[in-house]
Structure 1
């Protein structure tokens, strides 16, 4: 029996945006717990996420500077 090694890599990056990536909730640090949440953040049934355009633009800018290679 042969085995093949498969390694996955997960990277977390913090974007300096004023709202979260899939909703309009604030990302302000230091607020009381559970104050920057909405149905999308909580994964409520029927809630639809909307992609934050600023995150996409900043990601593309990073790729343009060779950070994605």
Structure 2
């Protein structure tokens, strides 16, 4: 048998869910203080990626047009 039966998979997922729920009750997750930092980092990453894309699109051998399969 390559994989366990679906009933066993379901029971494993239920057990994992219960364990996760109980662990969160024991040690509640920290508040979302890092959310602003994450948004800032993602914003900076997007600015950097756009700049790199713009440079590649207009740089050496680039015509500014997208090649097939590329996205802006």
Q: TM-score, normalised by structure 1?
A: 0.25
Q: Which protein has the larger Cα radius of gyration, Structure 1 or Structure 2?
A: 2
Higher relative contact order (CA 8 A, sep 6+): 1
Q: TM-score, normalised by structure 2?
A: 0.24
Whichever structure has more helix as a proportion of its residues is: 2
